[in-house]
Structure 1
């Protein structure tokens, strides 16, 4: 099972390395870049999803067995996976809130520069967009309460 985890980590590191490389040396040919990105994205998706499913299916029995056998105070694989799963809502909600706050904030600045009296309304819209992250944090806190 550790080779699957190593495959996932290698895939993530290579993806980050490719992103850094393409940041400093962008592709200029549009058609070739589009074809290359399609293949690269499909390969990354297949490797990552396949390795994640393999780790889940092959490691489930180990995680469940270690859950019962773990000494008091030690974190087992099952508890570690549960804690990771509890943190996912906060990460995804923060990502979604970032996607929402960006355009709303830009539009807010544009409208405030033209009509300063709209400041209160734009704060409400920004608060609604930022509320997404708070919902994710609340879900994570509720899940942590169920785990412990």
Structure 2
């Protein structure tokens, strides 16, 4: 498992170094092999991360099982249930962020021309932000079921 962590660390260091090189000397990054190398580095990183999750999860579950039986506090099912409760909030917050960005930019552009429609633009922003509140309400309702 340590070799997977080493591969992921090298992948991250390689991507960071590549970004620094591309920012400092963008004219010298015209070699035909450079972009496929970055893509291959990213693919190796994603595959190593997936393997680490699958292999690491088995190791953690094997190590945690006796401790869970002894303490009786939390089980794997309860832990996965708590993660499942957080998913609606996370996804709705991402959706709200995606919605608020263009709406906010458009409302600022319109307000520069017609300041009298501030109330309408505020309503549109509130509707977009309401998506995150719906996700939070769903998480609270799901948390009550656990």
CA pair 35-17 structure 1, distance change in 2 beyond 3 A: closer
Contact 1:101–1:126, Cα closer than 8 Å, also in 2: yes
Deviation of 1:15 after TM superposition, in Å, equals 4.0
**Structure 2 residue aligned with 1:122:** 121
**Under a length normalisation based on structure 1, what TM-score does the superposition of the two structures give?**
0.66
Moved more, 78-87 or 21-30: 21-30
**Structure 2 residue aligned with 1:44:** 45
1:111-139 per-residue CA deviation (whole Å, 9 max, x = no partner) reads 01101122222122212221221122122
- Higher-Rg structure is 2
**Runs of 4+ with >6 A deviation:** none
| Gaps in structure 2 of 5+ consecutive residues | none
| Gaps in structure 1 of 5+ consecutive residues | none
**Under a length normalisation based on structure 2, what TM-score does the superposition of the two structures give?**
0.67
Whether 2:19 is the aligned partner of 1:22: answer yes
**Structure 2 residue aligned with 1:69:** 69
CA pair 94-21 structure 1, distance change in 2 beyond 3 A: farther
Contact 1:66–1:78, Cα closer than 8 Å, also in 2: no
The alignment covers a number of residue pairs equal to 142
